[in-house]
Structures are given as C-alpha cells and as structure tokens.
C-alpha cells in the first residue's frame, strides 16, 4: 500500500504525493504515437518515457506508477547531471501501483527520470512521494513545448515611440544546439521578426515576416486591403506568401542549410513612407560571402522606424521540448541616417506564459559581447523575469557597404 511506502521513506506525517500526469513526459524510445495527449501513454518493450523536474531543496522521494494492463520488468533511471548522481531501480508490482525504492538526490537542482521495461499496458500517473510537496517542481500541463524566452534590447536615449526608432538593426546568431522545431529569431521589432529555423532533419529556413495592421488574429481573408502588408520585392530563391493564426501578415523564407556553430548575420531596415513603413530584411550568405535580399514589405498604418527591438528562442512544436535549445546572440548594433553604429549592450530577459509557472528550464548569460539564450533540456539558472544581463563592449562596428545592398523591387520576383 502507499501508506507502507511512506513509512519506508520517513516517519514524518506531512509527506504528500506529487502526481505527474504520464502525458507530460517525452517519448525518447519507441514511437511518439504512444503518447495520447491528456490521457494515457501506451507501452511496448521499446517505449521509454522521460520526465524532468527541479528539486528546490534536498529531496528524498519514492516513485509509484499507476495505469492499466501494465506488464513487464519496469525500470526507473534517475539522473542528476550536475551532481553526478545516477540510480536505476526495478519496480515491484502491488495491487494499487508499481513501487520503486526511494531515491535521495545529493543536491538541489534539475534531475530527470526515465520509465522503461514495460512490455504492454498504459501508464496514467507517476507519483513522487516527497518530504514536502513544494520541494519538487514539474510541468503538469499537456503542453510540452519548452518556454519561449526573449532578450529585449533597450536603446538608451530613445523610446519606443514611432519617431524615435532606428533605421538599421543588425544582429548575429550562432546556434549552439539545433534540435528540430527550433526558432532562433535574431531581429524582432514592433511589426515583425527575422531569424532562422530548424524545420526537419533535412530542412532549415531563414524567415522574415511582417504583421498586418488591425486586430485579426487568425484568418488573413478577414483582413481589409488597407490593413494588409504588401510585398515590394524578394530575393532569388525566396518564397513569399502570407501567414495567420498568430496575427496575420506577409511571410517570406529562404530554404538554406545554415550551419550550427557558424555566425549568421541579419540586417533589417525601416523606411518611412507617409503613413506606412517599408521593412526590408537582408541575410548575409556565408557560402556566397555577400548580403542578399530576403524580402521587403510595405506595412500600412505605421509611419515609424524600428522599435521594440528583441530576439527570442522558441520551441515551436512540443514533441521534443525536453531537448536543450541554445544560441548566442549579438553583438547588436543600431544606426540611423548618417549616424555612426551604436552597440546595444543591455539585454532584458522575459519569457512567455509557459515560463515561470509551468517551465523554468531556461537561462540568459553574457559570454563576452554576446548573450547565450537557452531553453529546454531541464537545465538552466531560471533568471528572474525582466532581469538585465549586460555584455562586453565590441569595438568593431559592422562593415556594410549600403550602396551594394540589393534594392527592393530591383530583384525579379520568383
């Protein structure tokens, strides 16, 4: 019985079960179809299911699995990489669950455990019996994406008003890890975003998108013509279209196998056009050693320059939110007119609604003149929301021959 397990763990009377739904785990062996969101995880002999948690204090806990029709020789493998702790425990079948001997983590921090060894059946709940329930942190939601994390770049001496934005925004991104479904966004601004994605094992993209005016969130067919972003030009091999379901707007992308560990360079320009703004995205092709036009869009009901400057790291599909996504961003430079380039050295950390409450495996830290921004992987220092990280000064400004940049409209639409 569960009560007998509690006695084995401790004589204290305030022990509680932390019940982690099986569908919040990650299928790391076998077939992803084993996981039916919101219900059960179906096991065969190849299925391995992984979970990650955080111990806020030294934690001793037992594990009890519950489900239906479970057979086999169940194993739980517990690891805490930071301390070097590792333990493999074999389960014991009882009428009300499958019990495993208690584990005792040697230090606070992140740990993982993996369930395997079943030959058949469906797992519903993983119960962790802890000295205090609040000691252990787990994601309890069906959404298994890692939290999206962002760096905001304040511009000293300016505000985010339309008339105090900047004309040019330059940033570099170097992927450190590259799991599928990763979006490392370099140049974000009030009307759009520009960065690079890992879409599959064989496809990568550079993406530049600009939002429409208005309030339509999903269906671009409902956006009036006067609110629509218009394509002015695009580069060779670039696809241009539209998007919805996250706001609506104009979308463009280049399929290119950008390399992990190599700095990718991004440049955005804003030009006022009466009550509209023309936003143009340029990507430096390492293979060709030159800048290319991705696309240029006319955004109505704007008339301002680049403002709300930021970057982000996003896990846009939830099947592998247990993998670490990490990229280095920067140095960040801005420029207007004939002014000199100015480096932005402060980075303000924020996260989406999943962060802080459901997922806290993320980090932001300075590495010289760059920021390392990461999420997922069940690791990271979990910095406070809106905390500021300052990077070192970079004395060499970008060397860009503006007269050599492709002019929107001069490149044939393809």
Q: How far is CA 3 from CA 17, 96, 172, in A?
A: 11, 11, 56
CA–CA separation, 292 vs 283, rounded Å? 5
**68-114 pLDDT, tens digit each:** 999 999 999 999 999 999 999 999 999 889 999 888 899 999 999 99
Rg (C-alpha) for the chain, rounded Å, is: 25
167 and 313: one domain?
Answer: yes
CA–CA separation, 322 vs 38, rounded Å? 18
**336-374 pLDDT, tens digit each:** 999 999 999 999 999 999 999 999 999 999 999 999 999
Of 26-35, 156-165, 210-219, 319-328, where does mean pLDDT reach its minimum?
A: 156-165
Decide the pairing of beta strands 109-130 and 388-390.
unpaired
Q: Which residue has the higher pLDDT, 135 or 309?
A: 309
Assigned domain for 412 exists: no
Predicted pLDDT at 1: 33
Does the pLDDT at position 164 exceed 70?
yes
pTM, entire model: 0.92
Q: Do residues 260 and 176 lie in contact, with contact meaning Cβ atoms separated by under 8 Å?
A: yes
Does the pLDDT at position 15 exceed 60?
no
Assigned domain for 198 exists: yes
Range of 18's domain? 2-137
Question: Which residue has 């099986």 as its token pair?
Answer: 22
Q: Residue 6: which H helix or E strand, with range?
A: helix 2-9
Predicted pLDDT at 163: 63
CA–CA separation, 146 vs 324, rounded Å? 9
User: In which band, very low, low, confident or very high, does the pLDDT at 129 lie, cut at 50, 70 and 90?
Assistant: confident
Of 137, 160, 192, the domain-final residue: 137
CA–CA separation, 184 vs 329, rounded Å? 9
Assigned domain for 105 exists: yes
Assigned domain for 246 exists: yes
Of 21-35, 195-209, 233-247, 284-298, where does mean pLDDT reach its minimum?
A: 21-35
Number of domains into which the chain is organized: 2
Assigned domain for 410 exists: no
Structure tokens of 304? Answer: 């301002």
Does the pLDDT at position 64 exceed 70?
yes
Assigned domain for 144 exists: no
Residues in the chain, total: 414
Assigned domain for 31 exists: yes
30 and 125: one domain?
Answer: yes
397 and 270: one domain?
Answer: yes
Structure tokens of 5? Answer: 């397990």
Kindly report the average pLDDT of the chain as a whole number.
Answer: 91
Decide the pairing of beta strands 276-285 and 264-273.
antiparallel
Of 91, 108, 137, the domain-final residue: 137
CATH label of the domain that carries residue 103: 2.60.120.260
CA–CA separation, 27 vs 50, rounded Å? 6
Of 79, 105, 137, the domain-final residue: 137
**30-52 pLDDT, tens digit each:** 877 777 656 788 999 999 999 99
Q: Do residues 373 and 366 lie in contact, with contact meaning Cβ atoms separated by under 8 Å?
A: no
Assigned domain for 409 exists: no
């Amino acid at each position: 019985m569960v009560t007998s397990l509690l006695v084995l763990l401790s004589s204290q009377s305030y022990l509680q079960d932390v019940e982690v739904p099986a569908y919040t785990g990650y299928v790391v062996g076998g077939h992803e179809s084993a996981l039916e969101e919101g219900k059960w995880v179906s096991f065969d002999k190849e299925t391995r299911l992984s979970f990650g948690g955080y111990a806020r204090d030294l934690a001793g806990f037992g594990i009890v699995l519950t489900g239906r029709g479970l057979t086999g020789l169940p194993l739980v493998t517990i690891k805490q990489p930071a301390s070097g702790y590792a333990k493999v425990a074999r389960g014991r079948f009882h009428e009300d669950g499958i019990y495993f001997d208690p584990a005792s983590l040697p230090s606070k921090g992140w740990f993982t455990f993996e369930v395997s060894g079943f030959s058949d059946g469906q797992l519903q709940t993983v119960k962790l019996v802890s000295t205090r329930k609040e000691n252990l942190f787990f994601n309890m939601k069906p959404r298994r994406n890692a939290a999206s994390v962002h760096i905001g770049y304040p511009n000293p001496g300016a505000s985010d008003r339309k008339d105090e934005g900047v004309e040019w925004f330059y940033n570099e991104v170097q992927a450190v890890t590259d799991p599928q479904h990763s979006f490392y966004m370099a140049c974000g601004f009030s009307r759009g975003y520009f960065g690079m994605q890992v879409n599959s094992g064989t496809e990568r993209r550079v993406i530049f998108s600009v939002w429409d005016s208005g309030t339509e969130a999903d269906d671009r067919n409902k956006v009036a013509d006067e609110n629509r972003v218009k394509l002015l030009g695009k580069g060779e091999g670039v696809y241009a279209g539209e998007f919805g379901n996250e706001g609506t707007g104009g979308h463009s992308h280049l399929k290119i196998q950008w390399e992990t560990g190599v700095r990718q360079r991004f440049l955005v320009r804003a030009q006022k056009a009466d009550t509209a703004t023309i936003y143009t995205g340029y990507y430096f092709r390492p293979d060709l050693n030159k800048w290319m036009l991705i696309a240029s869009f006319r955004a109505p009901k704007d008339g301002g320059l680049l403002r709300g400057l930021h970057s982000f790291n996003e896990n846009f599909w939830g099947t592998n939110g247990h993998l670490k996504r990490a990229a280095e961003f920067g140095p960040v430079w801005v420029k207007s007119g004939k002014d000199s380039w100015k480096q932005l050295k402060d980075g303000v950390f924020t996260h989406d609604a999943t962060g802080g409450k459901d997922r806290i495996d993320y980090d932001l830290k300075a590495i010289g003149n760059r920021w390392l921004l990461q999420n997922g992987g069940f690791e990271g220092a979990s910095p406070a929301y809106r905390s500021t990280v300052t990077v070192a000064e970079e004395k060499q400004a970008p060397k860009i021959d503006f007269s050599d940049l492709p002019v929107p409209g001069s490149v044939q639409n393809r």
